[in-house]
Structure 1
Amino acid sequence: MDEQLPVTITFHGADRTVTGSCMEIASGESRILIDCGLFQGSRSLETLNYRTFAFDPDRIDAVLMTHAHIDHCGLLPTLVAAGYDGPVWCTPQTRDLLDVVLPDAGRLQESDIARRNRRADRATERPLQPIYTVSDGERAARLARGIALQQWFEPAPGIRARLWNAAHILGSASIELSIGGLRLLFSGDLGPENKAFYPDPEAPAGFDHVMCESTYGDRTFAQPTIRQRRTLLQQEIRQALARGGNLVIPVFALERTQELLLDIASLINAGRIARVPVYIDSPLAGQTTQIFARHAEALEDLGRGRVFDHPAFHFVETADESMALNDVSGGIILAASGMCEGGRIRHHLRHNLPRPDSTILFVGFQSAGTLGRAILEGAKRVRMSGRTIPVQASIRRLESYAAHADQDGLIAWLADRAPISGSLFLTHGEAKALDMLSARITEGGLARSIIIPQMGERYALAPAVPASLEGAALPEAGAAIGSDWRNSYADLLVNLQAKLREIPTAQGREAALRRMTEMLAISKAEQSVPPED
């Protein structure tokens, strides 16, 4: 029997938020990370990406990667730049994806920061620096080591691990750890029922402690079959094209793009929609689609006929080709990023949001504080790159492309992992999702101890007993979660003129502006007063 050593887990991200996934497991002198993801959302949340790591990168023996989405792998280049040079264990498919995802993330960092620094409203401010560069991404990708599902390996002395299909995206995995006499399971992101390309998630049962994602812990939604999903997409495409403008779909370059291409190709091949041009405006989407084609023999649901190389598909590479799409009307444009926080989708939104004949179709989760969330929640105007953009396009949403299990799916997955004799940690979710999922789990008696960790907390883990808190949360991390003052400022700015016009007289508008100025001065003065002893 293995010797039981003290084991701790420290949560460094995706705690009471859905991005920045990173957990540190320590046992004796051995230390590993589960994921090392980028924070995405409000500007305040993004500032966490610039922090010095709360651990020493030189002391980390290995990183185990659940999948290649940027909120799970996107800080690997920073980790490498800080001195880490150990292995990054993952499935072979994830390894192939990291080869393109991480350098592209560096390119986006460089281009996004260059764009922000060019803005007129930043002319007098200190230039921003990218979190990391293309070369940092390339160095990190070279550390990836592929390991097959369900094959035991030893990432660090005294720690054994194996990967299980999570059915979320290509190569996604849940991670099982055996440390002495302790059994741990990390769900990673879990796919829903009827997910294209993969069989349902799987993993063993009977763990001491389980760390489970909670992205959709507050909702249940219809689980259409692939055929039903295509019918829903067919209706959206027909209605959008009947309006005469473009159908613009914000997408994640990895997985969501390929699912849409699969369904659009199938609808065209079956004669259910017209063969209109489909523009995939993301170099990364083109590269990841090639990787899907390379692994096609392991994918389900491809059907007959051409899919990833369909003649209706046009992969847009250069910036000039992307800008030329501003003159397109009556086409389908898929562009990254999925939450509209960066990438080429933003200039397509600038040109299509003001058009009443265009349609913006959301097919993925929109995190709090993102531009996508603001548009989806009914904003009449949005602030983009220092400009106010009116929202006159039709805003639509399809939940049938959810890449995460809903509340029922998470409950079913947890029930199959029972018994959980120690603690169940709920991560990777916003407050409402975490609270509602926790209540449902308590009601069903699926776990004796449920913990919703905060960023920075460290817990001691032992067999068959609830985890105990050893280290406190980081207060600045909690303050960064959700929308921040910049979101409120943007909302005020885009609606200020309309609100002023609602005041019937010029004198009333002048008085309102004067009161706002006075309030800002009072607030500034209050902040400058030193606190009493």
Structure 2
Amino acid sequence: MKLSFYGAAEMVTGSCYLLETDKHKILIDCGMFQGDADSEDLNRNMFDFEPAKIDFLLLTHAHIDHSGRIPLLAKRGFSGEILATKATRELCAIMLPDSGYIQEMETEWTNRKRLRAGRPLVEPLYTAADAEDSLKYFRAINYDETIEITEEIKIRYKDAGHILGSAIIELWVKEKGETVKLVFSGDLGNKDMPIMKNPSLIDEADYLIMETTYGNKTHDNAKNNILFLLDIIINTIENGGNIVIPSFAVGRTQEILYMLNMMKESEFSKIKSIPVYVDSPLAINATNVFLNNQDLFDDETKSLIKMGDNPFEFPNLVFTKTAEESKAINFHEGSSIIVSASGMCDAGRIKHHLKHNLWRGNSSVVFVGYQAKGTLGRKILEGQKKVKIFGEDIYVNCKIYNLNGLSGHADKNGLIDWFSSFTKKPAKIFLTHGEEDSLKEFSQILQDKFDSKAEIVHMGETIEIESSIDSIVNIPEKYYAKDNRSEMLLDDIKTMMYALKEAAIGDEKLADRSKTIILTKKIENILSGLEDIDKVMKS
């Protein structure tokens, strides 16, 4: 069995992993790369596998960096099943066609420039029609339901708490009489956030593939961030400016609406009369999907709705659908709050609002989500004083804020808490979905805090997945007695066995696994003599 990493390796976007067994090929996520020009090249490259030979695609959630190349996968020959939660399927049904539409519009704009320059024209990565066609492969499954997708493979989806429908994937594979359990964390949510439940905890895994988006950062308290957001809004309004919030259409926009609803309902609120514009047709459709899946909300949100308080509705909230309505926002007299996509500022209507507000000293731009390297949002957040929008240089004179406590990703402490829930620690850990500093620091944390060695995977890397560690040698059951000294000795021997086995597998000169067999046999011989050692220790 082999596991290959074709995205989100030493980067945050483009999630895509391929698991190959003796009989099947399974893809976990098929996301779009986001950021600089190199990301576009990565998106257009041929897949490192044959799409027509993929049997299943297991999708963790609907965000484009996890789902965005599904239409391209289908366009290039995939015809297997895409397994996702009901909410993820419904969100993909609006997000993927929207992504296709953006591909078409951006290609049209690019081709006008290429035509004037006498350069050959390009085609969109995929179209809205391609995206619609890919939806026929989706199959909805429920959380906490164990499903046998083949005779050898079982899966179970657990709530990841990241966005509506997001999942941690547990996967059991039986090969050569041995069952191996792999866990793919997907994107783990930030705890105690509005609407979403906290991430589910997992008891055990042989192999863990874990995200580390914020593996080296600690978020501010979410409640403090809500108060800080209120202060930002009030101060900006008093100065006559606008509050521009670049927000992901799915997840973050709904959470922002929830918070603004709370603020406006306060008896002493100073922002009741301030208009709030949600300027994203995708966000409007996504909000409807949220309302169609209220069973996934946390208890607090369910209680609000039961009392008749829809957190996505309040006075002076305006959903703008047409381009004309969007343009009119920037001619509104007086202050306003503008929530618009895309969250990283690289596409969509948010670029127009930034163009109209970045240069204004009395306006504020509030970031509430991760900004990938190379994106317009990252450039602004890192303090770049001049950015190019629609070919025009725009000076950054407004106030820039980053409310990382409102992130949909778990921070360093959240990741540690989630990992600590494993009662049986994974024998192998592979860290993905993080930038270099984050990956290195979190890898060291796992080593120092849990004595767990984690590997940072590289783009295109393939690893061998073998039988679960405890089945590599025959450890007699009686040596699992509760005697602490015996347990310590066993732990030392097992640790030595891991090291020897890794050394054997890592020897590139070996043509087979003969060295592994010899070394593990030596360990078995050591274990067979434990009875005498055990008697001496107990005496």
Aligned to 1:331: 336
Aligned to 1:506: none
Is 1:385 matched up with 2:381? no
- For the Cα contact (< 8 Å) 1:166–1:172, is it kept in 2? yes
Provide the C-alpha distance between the structure 1 equivalents of 2:90 and 2:247, rounded to a whole number of angstroms: 20
Aligned to 1:419: 424
Query: How has the CA–CA distance of structure 1 residues 261 and 81 changed in structure 2, closer, same or farther, with 3 Å as cutoff?
Result: same
Provide the C-alpha distance between the structure 1 equivalents of 2:181 and 2:27, rounded to a whole number of angstroms: 16
- For the Cα contact (< 8 Å) 2:188–2:199, is it kept in 1? yes
Q: Which amino acid aligns with 1:253?
A: A
- For the Cα contact (< 8 Å) 1:11–1:455, is it kept in 2? yes
Aligned to 2:402: 397
Aligned to 2:153: 159
Q: Give 1:292's match in structure 2, choosing from 282, 290, 293.
A: 290
- For the Cα contact (< 8 Å) 1:459–1:470, is it kept in 2? no
SS in 2 for 1:221: coil
Provide the C-alpha distance between the structure 2 equivalents of 1:359 and 1:421, rounded to a whole number of angstroms: 45
Is 1:360 matched up with 2:365? yes
Aligned to 2:235: 239
Q: Which amino acid aligns with 2:343?
A: G
Q: Which amino acid aligns with 2:197?
A: P
SS in 2 for 1:136: helix
Q: Give 1:194's match in structure 2, choosing from 192, 199, 219.
A: 192
Provide the C-alpha distance between the structure 2 equivalents of 1:122 and 1:217, rounded to a whole number of angstroms: 46
Aligned to 2:280: 282
**More displaced, 273-282 or 172-181?**
273-282
Aligned to 1:52: 46
Is 1:309 matched up with 2:303? no
SS in 2 for 1:248: strand
Give the superposed CA RMSD: 1.9
SS in 2 for 1:177: strand
Provide the C-alpha distance between the structure 1 equivalents of 2:295 and 2:225, rounded to a whole number of angstroms: 23
Q: Which amino acid aligns with 2:33?
A: F
Q: Which amino acid aligns with 1:237?
A: I
Query: How has the CA–CA distance of structure 1 residues 36 and 69 changed in structure 2, closer, same or farther, with 3 Å as cutoff?
Result: same
SS in 1 for 2:413: helix
- For the Cα contact (< 8 Å) 1:209–1:420, is it kept in 2? no
- For the Cα contact (< 8 Å) 2:170–2:184, is it kept in 1? yes
Query: How has the CA–CA distance of structure 1 residues 265 and 421 changed in structure 2, closer, same or farther, with 3 Å as cutoff?
Result: closer
SS in 1 for 2:448: helix
Please report how far the alpha carbon of residue 469 of structure 1 lies from its aligned counterpart in structure 2 after TM superposition: 7.1
Aligned to 2:30: 36
Provide the C-alpha distance between the structure 2 equivalents of 1:412 and 1:297, rounded to a whole number of angstroms: 26
SS in 2 for 1:163: strand
Aligned to 1:442: 447
Please report how far the alpha carbon of residue 224 of structure 1 lies from its aligned counterpart in structure 2 after TM superposition: 3.1
Is 1:66 matched up with 2:60? yes
Mark the structure with the bigger radius of gyration.
2
User: For structure 2, which runs of at least 5 residues remain unmatched after alignment?
Assistant: 470-497, 509-539
Please report how far the alpha carbon of residue 137 of structure 1 lies from its aligned counterpart in structure 2 after TM superposition: 0.9
Aligned to 1:16: 10
User: For structure 1, which runs of at least 5 residues remain unmatched after alignment?
Assistant: 1-6, 472-533
Provide the C-alpha distance between the structure 1 equivalents of 2:170 and 2:193, rounded to a whole number of angstroms: 22
Query: How has the CA–CA distance of structure 1 residues 332 and 33 changed in structure 2, closer, same or farther, with 3 Å as cutoff?
Result: same
Aligned to 1:342: 347
Query: How has the CA–CA distance of structure 1 residues 267 and 365 changed in structure 2, closer, same or farther, with 3 Å as cutoff?
Result: same
Q: Give 1:458's match in structure 2, choosing from 438, 456, 462.
A: 462
Aligned to 2:529: none
Please report how far the alpha carbon of residue 460 of structure 1 lies from its aligned counterpart in structure 2 after TM superposition: 0.4
**Runs of 4+ residues over 4 Å off in structure 1:** 119-122, 465-471
- For the Cα contact (< 8 Å) 1:34–1:66, is it kept in 2? yes
Provide the C-alpha distance between the structure 2 equivalents of 1:326 and 1:198, rounded to a whole number of angstroms: 32
SS in 2 for 1:71: helix
- For the Cα contact (< 8 Å) 1:17–1:431, is it kept in 2? yes
Provide the C-alpha distance between the structure 2 equivalents of 1:218 and 1:114, rounded to a whole number of angstroms: 40
1:343-378 CA-partner distances (Å, limit 9, x unpaired): 111111111111112111111111111111111111
Q: Which amino acid aligns with 1:82?
A: R
Aligned to 1:207: 205
Query: How has the CA–CA distance of structure 1 residues 243 and 120 changed in structure 2, closer, same or farther, with 3 Å as cutoff?
Result: farther
Q: TM-score under structure 2 normalisation?
A: 0.82
Q: Which amino acid aligns with 2:259?
A: D
SS in 1 for 2:465: strand
Provide the C-alpha distance between the structure 1 equivalents of 2:244 and 2:91, rounded to a whole number of angstroms: 25
- For the Cα contact (< 8 Å) 2:12–2:213, is it kept in 1? yes
Is 1:176 matched up with 2:176? no
Is 1:371 matched up with 2:365? no
Please report how far the alpha carbon of residue 98 of structure 1 lies from its aligned counterpart in structure 2 after TM superposition: 1.0
Query: How has the CA–CA distance of structure 1 residues 49 and 443 changed in structure 2, closer, same or farther, with 3 Å as cutoff?
Result: same
Query: How has the CA–CA distance of structure 1 residues 192 and 117 changed in structure 2, closer, same or farther, with 3 Å as cutoff?
Result: same
Provide the C-alpha distance between the structure 1 equivalents of 2:321 and 2:119, rounded to a whole number of angstroms: 33
Please report how far the alpha carbon of residue 446 of structure 1 lies from its aligned counterpart in structure 2 after TM superposition: 4.5
Provide the C-alpha distance between the structure 2 equivalents of 1:283 and 1:364, rounded to a whole number of angstroms: 19
Q: Which amino acid aligns with 1:387?
A: E
Aligned to 1:117: 111
- For the Cα contact (< 8 Å) 1:427–1:453, is it kept in 2? yes
Provide the C-alpha distance between the structure 2 equivalents of 1:421 and 1:404, rounded to a whole number of angstroms: 22
**More displaced, 431-440 or 134-143?**
134-143
Q: TM-score under structure 1 normalisation?
A: 0.83
- For the Cα contact (< 8 Å) 1:460–1:470, is it kept in 2? no
SS in 2 for 1:47: helix
Query: How has the CA–CA distance of structure 1 residues 150 and 366 changed in structure 2, closer, same or farther, with 3 Å as cutoff?
Result: same
SS in 2 for 1:36: coil
Q: Percent identity?
A: 39
Query: How has the CA–CA distance of structure 1 residues 117 and 384 changed in structure 2, closer, same or farther, with 3 Å as cutoff?
Result: farther
Provide the C-alpha distance between the structure 2 equivalents of 1:57 and 1:415, rounded to a whole number of angstroms: 37
- For the Cα contact (< 8 Å) 2:359–2:398, is it kept in 1? yes
Q: Which amino acid aligns with 1:67?
A: H
Please report how far the alpha carbon of residue 470 of structure 1 lies from its aligned counterpart in structure 2 after TM superposition: 11
SS in 1 for 2:6: strand
Q: Which amino acid aligns with 1:78?
A: L
Please report how far the alpha carbon of residue 276 of structure 1 lies from its aligned counterpart in structure 2 after TM superposition: 1.2
Please report how far the alpha carbon of residue 383 of structure 1 lies from its aligned counterpart in structure 2 after TM superposition: 1.5
SS in 1 for 2:437: helix
